[in-house]
Structure 1
Amino acid sequence: MHNRPPDYSPIEEYGIVGNLETCALVAPNGSVDWFPFPHLESPSIFASILDTDLGGRFRIGPENSFETDRQYIDETNVLETTFHTTDGTATVTDFMPPAGQVSHPKKVLYRKVECTAGAVELGVELDPQFDYGRAKTRIESLEEGVLVDGNEERTLLESPIPLAIEDGRITGELSLESGDTEWFLLRCTGAEHASTDPDAALDKTIEYWSDWAHNCHPANGCVFAGPWHDQVVRSQLVLKLLTHAETGAIAAAPTTSLPEEIGGVRNWDYRFNWLRDAGFTVQALMNLGTADEANAYFDWFMDLCRADEPAAIQPLYGLHGEANLEERELDHFEGYRGSHPVRIGNGAAEQRQHDIYGELLLAVDEIRQHGRDLTDTEWTRIRGIVDYVREIWDQPDAGIWEVRGEDQHFVYSKVLCWVALDRGIAIATDGDHDAPIEAWQEVHKRIKDDVLENGFDDDIGAFVQAYGTDALDATGLLLPIVGFLPFDDERIQGTITAVQNRLAEDEVFVQRYDGEDGLPGDEGAFVLCSCWLVDALALSGRVAAARSRFEALLEYLNPLGLVAEEIDTETGAHLGNFPQAFSHIGIVNSALYLGYVLGHKTPGPVPMGIRLGEPVESDTTNQQS
């Protein structure tokens, strides 16, 4: 039905649905352009987001001119795409039943098509390209639709209309009048002939998400009360979509190789879990009231720490705990808008990143603050980590940003080693756990003295990215939040000012750093770092400035409330993998800190940055939402 493949949709125009095992990205023209199966880190069935010609897609939408409205059904991950044509209006509703939660097959992508006004003509195109377009496919017409076999995986499109097969593409035309409804069911391996009632599946899926989502009334003292409350709920729903139902691991993003610079080489596979996300993730989940998810995630990463040698702990793992994440390139794909290479796997799994130990201890401390007692086995593993940090803290590493140049003495890595000892000492003391407290305290002091001597530049008046450089890094904004120095320390305030002067743009955005990282090209502003500046300002007593930046940042989220890793500061276009878990975690935690300083108390313990960072008191008169 297409003479040529369509152009690439902007990253920020996509919506996402999923079943807690995998996700699909849906473009505003009704095309499913990304769908790995059976799991998020599996090879794709559709990947036209990475190659419009070779990647494959499943589109239901008008062939002629149209306008599109998109929304999620309230507090769910059920996506509605409404097409307005000159002759009528139709809505495509996309969803997948969540694994283990709904008694309908989870391996089915449901697409409901309903004409709500006039009459509409919609085209249907199915082009499965299994294994990132590398598998040979066999197509067979069946009475109920079309079966496509791609060696290890297969799909059966259950269709209400006849489908034609031509040049490996499956097409059809759907005519609807007002009141007409039809269903297309893409049944994937294991669910080709499973019994299901699509209307009941939709009702149950809506019910599950509505019951699960954070559903307080903002006027009743919710810490997230404010104009951002609905966005916080959407961020929570995104984080749940990226959580694997079986293991509790949370993916950094559902996509691979969406570029940080259009046409550039900064294209990475983010369908894995980074342990560095642990502390801030647990804080977000706990304060959202999703303790089950926080505990499942905690159990998952604690299980990964059971190695006798903490040096074996990797910066990232597969969502089933896979350690081998060999990085490879898909040379046959052109990449999103020509951004090559397209990568699967991630070589950062083999790096040395010393910050991960402090982030793990922050997560342990956070979940402990929420009332969870540590088992003897868990403490043994935690003690092993802290002891290991005593040995390696003074060695260089690749840092939190996983630079691909030489290892350096990154300030943030040193500070997080200090955090590992700091939280280890506190946990051992409070819980009366066996530990070499005096030895830990001695190294704890040595690290702090070392960072203050070598990591702070008197001429700049700020903490720098690494020893011996004058580059700045947005991670300097986190030093008071993790308790290294109080917010009113002049060195912290100097760092905040320096970040604003050198890394911030347009009173909204913040770059990660301004130093070299061993890679060519540029990147956009980091959404997470922009949130960190909001946090630092709010907890420094500058609440009005923090709120202004936060509200301005939220304007750049797409109409569905989704955001990528980065934003182009000139165009507002989203860059990098999408949607990005850490960006949404940053939004949740910024709303948490703003809510707290505006007087909305949490139902649980005081948030990390308040508890550890000794924030500056501020007059929040007239700041209430």
Structure 2
Amino acid sequence: MSARPIGDYAMLSDCRSAALVTSDGSVDWLCLPRFDSPALFARLLDEEAGFWAIRPACPAEVTRRYVEDTLVLETTFRTREGTLVLLDALALGRGERAHALGTSSPGLLLRRLACTEGRVPVEIVYAPRPEFGLVRPLMQPVRGGLIARGGADVLTLSSPVEFRTSGSVADAALTLRAGQNVGLALQAGRAWAPDPPRRTSWAVARRIRDTIAGWRSWSRGHADYEGPWRRHVNHSGRVLRAMTYAPTGAMVAAVTTSLPESIGGERNWDYRYTWVRDASFTLHALNTATCEEEETAFFTFLSRACATQVDADPDLQIMYGIDGERDLSERRLPQLRGWRDSAPVRVGNDAWRQRQLDVYGELLDAAHQTYRDIGPFDPLTRSLLIGVAETAARRWQEPDQSLWEIRGPSRHFTHSKLMCWVGLDRAIALSPVLGAASRVADWTRVRDEIHAAILTRGWNEQAGAFTQTFDGTQVDASTLMMPLVGFLPPDDPRIRSTVQAVATRLTDARGLVYRYRSADGLAGLEGPFLLCTFWLAHALALMGQDVAAGRAFETAAACANDVGLLSEEVEPTTGEAIGNYPQALSHIGLINAARAIGDARGADDIGGRAEPG
């Protein structure tokens, strides 16, 4: 069983793929060359599924951080006899600066050890397991490293250190003294292609320096945000950049699959894809974090991936692969036990087949946010957006699975109706640039019908809140979106009452917010959802309650680990991170809430109350 806390992991990224590294120097998750590729190391999900560990061969105190303005990880081990510094990076393309892609092939994991004082004995254990642990490759020592062959992959480990091999595991031992350093590199290639070149320690150090320069070049161009929690916002912007597939502009919801929402339960999904649902949240966050190029690229990706004859299609798909793929059929991996025995482990996500009516609103809201930045829509995009609005107008009264992807009977979820209202509201605003003036009267009529229906059937006087479903009684955190999207003014008594209901009935003792507490067709209970806590902070800020908003913000932000990464949820009893990780929506919620609180405080109070940095 894999028992390492999820929050113990730091992320590496080359904006195409990702790795997760423990605090004691073990790479337990690596997918190359893409976020959604089969894992080469998957000890995150099963102890037998592969890793690459570098650590002192003696007790050590450990601290770590990201090198300033980068996602290059620096881990410092202090032993009784000396200090070892380990730098880990997924190499950006050679010469990659700002948004210009580099010239070299992606998928190069770099690791550099340096002894800064005294002497430190070091042990290295290398156990690749391609295809999520199915393959135990043959190891072949070669000059300057190791070659591992098995299945469709060949893995080249460049190392000046001599390894011993035993089956499909290799290990090495060395002692470094002050001033000495060693560089290692791992690159995957296809079994039928020439082996990747082996790299010297000097070459590894050079690529790490180039990767640091690449990240800093990007960060310098995205540091204009001046509101509260500036460090948090800038770092979260970098995390979102790290979760963006640079060739297409798609952003993955997380870099992992099957990390559970409830330990030992079945709520284990593959999040290495792009959700239309996240679009408007994402674009607002990218705008706040001054990621204009990512904002434009993300909407362009969505508009191309979603391109379809909407009127002929029964449903606009809710999610896509990072190249725009549509078939994301789900399957189970029985060879993996799952994180803390949370089976099954899944790849693919059958939610792509679900009906979620909210996506119409999210796509049109995304278009509304970006059209001034990206210029006139091309004819195909205009046709798509008009079709989306028409479909929202035609289908808003149908039941669906909601943004929470309930795997049970379809119902009339209030949030789904709300987002159909948003879609038509934004389509009306966009009608001059869409060339759709003739549709405005019909769209306005249906928009107003939806508004009236939500006010009558979505509001429950006894609950004192807008509810999860029409004619329902259950409170749901998604109703916090009402003031965020402009459905009602933040000072409307029904909004204030709904926000209060969420704050009192859906929060735990720490103030973290659950999505809902109703049955959803799955066994087990999930933890509080960090995005929902940031939504609460955002809504409170819009209501002018900036002190309470700051407290809610701090409660959620405090759930970040030592390198500033946020999970999806928090385990209710222990407070540890659960769910797929790092979670883009949590970082998006942080950025959007920080901006809303800053706006509520006003320009004269930037950097004021509850401001950690």
For the residues of structure 1 that align with 2:247 and 2:82, how far apart are their CA atoms?
A: 43
Alpha carbons 1:63, 1:123 under 8 Å: kept: yes
SS in 2 for 1:113: strand
Kindly state the Cα deviation for residue 372 of structure 1 after the two structures are TM-superposed: 3.2
Residues 427-506 of structure 1 aligned to structure 2 (within 5 Å): 427-429=430-432, 433-506=436-509
CA shift in 2, pair 1:238/1:622, >3 Å: closer
Partner of residue 8, structure 2: 13
Kindly state the Cα deviation for residue 214 of structure 1 after the two structures are TM-superposed: 5.4
1:46 aligns with 2:49: no
CA shift in 2, pair 1:50/1:216, >3 Å: closer
Partner of residue 193, structure 1: 197
1:56 aligns with 2:59: no
1:210 aligns with 2:216: yes
Kindly state the Cα deviation for residue 141 of structure 1 after the two structures are TM-superposed: 1.2
SS in 1 for 2:250: coil
1:232-281 per-position Cα deviation (integer Å, ceiling 9, x unaligned):
11111111111001111000000001111221111111000010000111
CA shift in 2, pair 1:516/1:214, >3 Å: farther
Structure 2 segments unaligned to the other structure (5+ residues): none
Kindly state the Cα deviation for residue 151 of structure 1 after the two structures are TM-superposed: 1.8
Alpha carbons 2:400, 2:412 under 8 Å: kept: yes
Alpha carbons 1:223, 1:595 under 8 Å: kept: no
1:166 aligns with 2:169: no
Identity level (%): 36
Kindly state the Cα deviation for residue 195 of structure 1 after the two structures are TM-superposed: 6.5
For the residues of structure 2 that align with 1:542 and 1:620, how far apart are their CA atoms?
A: 16
* Alignment match of 2:558 (pick from 555, 559, 580): 555
For the residues of structure 2 that align with 1:374 and 1:600, how far apart are their CA atoms?
A: 34
Residues 226-305 of structure 1 aligned to structure 2 (within 5 Å): 226=228, 228-305=229-306
CA shift in 2, pair 1:378/1:176, >3 Å: same
For the residues of structure 1 that align with 2:300 and 2:572, how far apart are their CA atoms?
A: 39
Partner of residue 366, structure 1: 369
Partner of residue 609, structure 1: none
CA shift in 2, pair 1:581/1:162, >3 Å: same
Matched residue type, 2:215: W
CA shift in 2, pair 1:215/1:306, >3 Å: closer
TM-score (norm 2): 0.94
RMSD after superposition: 2.0
For the residues of structure 2 that align with 1:554 and 1:42, how far apart are their CA atoms?
A: 30
1:425-484 per-position Cα deviation (integer Å, ceiling 9, x unaligned):
111047654441111111111111111111110111100001232111101111111111
Matched residue type, 2:80: T
1:403 aligns with 2:403: no
For the residues of structure 2 that align with 1:186 and 1:583, how far apart are their CA atoms?
A: 31
Partner of residue 130, structure 1: 130
Alpha carbons 1:335, 1:341 under 8 Å: kept: yes
Alpha carbons 1:68, 1:84 under 8 Å: kept: yes
Tell which deviates more after alignment, 80-89 or 406-415. Answer: 80-89
CA shift in 2, pair 1:443/1:522, >3 Å: same
For the residues of structure 2 that align with 1:275 and 1:62, how far apart are their CA atoms?
A: 45
CA shift in 2, pair 1:152/1:388, >3 Å: same
* Alignment match of 1:225 (pick from 218, 224, 227): 227
* Alignment match of 1:593 (pick from 574, 582, 596): 596
Residues 116-155 of structure 1 aligned to structure 2 (within 5 Å): 116-155=116-155
For the residues of structure 2 that align with 1:338 and 1:205, how far apart are their CA atoms?
A: 36
Matched residue type, 1:42: S
Kindly state the Cα deviation for residue 105 of structure 1 after the two structures are TM-superposed: 4.5
CA shift in 2, pair 1:624/1:597, >3 Å: farther
1:35-60 per-position Cα deviation (integer Å, ceiling 9, x unaligned):
012211110100000001x2100111
For the residues of structure 2 that align with 1:621 and 1:35, how far apart are their CA atoms?
A: 38
Kindly state the Cα deviation for residue 62 of structure 1 after the two structures are TM-superposed: 2.2
Kindly state the Cα deviation for residue 624 of structure 1 after the two structures are TM-superposed: 9.3
CA shift in 2, pair 1:300/1:430, >3 Å: closer
Partner of residue 17, structure 2: 22
Alpha carbons 2:479, 2:498 under 8 Å: kept: yes
Partner of residue 608, structure 1: none
CA shift in 2, pair 1:18/1:624, >3 Å: closer
CA shift in 2, pair 1:139/1:425, >3 Å: same
1:504-532 per-position Cα deviation (integer Å, ceiling 9, x unaligned):
22353100011111001011110100000
For the residues of structure 2 that align with 1:588 and 1:600, how far apart are their CA atoms?
A: 17
SS in 1 for 2:409: coil
Matched residue type, 2:34: H
SS in 2 for 1:124: strand
SS in 2 for 1:488: coil
Structure 1 segments unaligned to the other structure (5+ residues): 602-618
For the residues of structure 2 that align with 1:67 and 1:435, how far apart are their CA atoms?
A: 69
State the 4+ residue runs in structure 1 displaced beyond 6 angstroms. 619-622
CA shift in 2, pair 1:84/1:450, >3 Å: same
Kindly state the Cα deviation for residue 544 of structure 1 after the two structures are TM-superposed: 0.7
1:87 aligns with 2:62: no
1:335 aligns with 2:338: yes
Kindly state the Cα deviation for residue 107 of structure 1 after the two structures are TM-superposed: 2.1
Partner of residue 65, structure 2: 71
Matched residue type, 1:210: R
Partner of residue 382, structure 1: 385
Residues 295-334 of structure 1 aligned to structure 2 (within 5 Å): 295-309=296-310, 311-334=314-337
For the residues of structure 2 that align with 1:231 and 1:622, how far apart are their CA atoms?
A: 15
CA shift in 2, pair 1:432/1:623, >3 Å: farther
Aligned length: 597
Alpha carbons 1:102, 1:208 under 8 Å: kept: no
Kindly state the Cα deviation for residue 306 of structure 1 after the two structures are TM-superposed: 1.7
Kindly state the Cα deviation for residue 95 of structure 1 after the two structures are TM-superposed: 0.6
SS in 2 for 1:119: strand
Kindly state the Cα deviation for residue 622 of structure 1 after the two structures are TM-superposed: 7.0
For the residues of structure 1 that align with 2:435 and 2:37, how far apart are their CA atoms?
A: 44
For the residues of structure 1 that align with 2:606 and 2:594, how far apart are their CA atoms?
A: 15
Alpha carbons 1:224, 1:232 under 8 Å: kept: no
TM-score (norm 1): 0.92
1:354 aligns with 2:357: yes
SS in 2 for 1:480: helix
1:181 aligns with 2:181: yes
For the residues of structure 2 that align with 1:102 and 1:223, how far apart are their CA atoms?
A: 27
Kindly state the Cα deviation for residue 26 of structure 1 after the two structures are TM-superposed: 0.3
1:530-580 per-position Cα deviation (integer Å, ceiling 9, x unaligned):
000000000101011111221232222111000110112432200001100
Matched residue type, 2:456: E
Alpha carbons 1:383, 1:435 under 8 Å: kept: no
Partner of residue 613, structure 1: none
Partner of residue 604, structure 1: none
Tell which deviates more after alignment, 340-349 or 129-138. Answer: 129-138
CA shift in 2, pair 1:620/1:67, >3 Å: closer
For the residues of structure 2 that align with 1:357 and 1:111, how far apart are their CA atoms?
A: 45
CA shift in 2, pair 1:584/1:598, >3 Å: same
For the residues of structure 2 that align with 1:518 and 1:30, how far apart are their CA atoms?
A: 39
Kindly state the Cα deviation for residue 374 of structure 1 after the two structures are TM-superposed: 2.3
1:62-104 per-position Cα deviation (integer Å, ceiling 9, x unaligned):
2332221010000101001111222211111011222463445
Kindly state the Cα deviation for residue 224 of structure 1 after the two structures are TM-superposed: 4.1
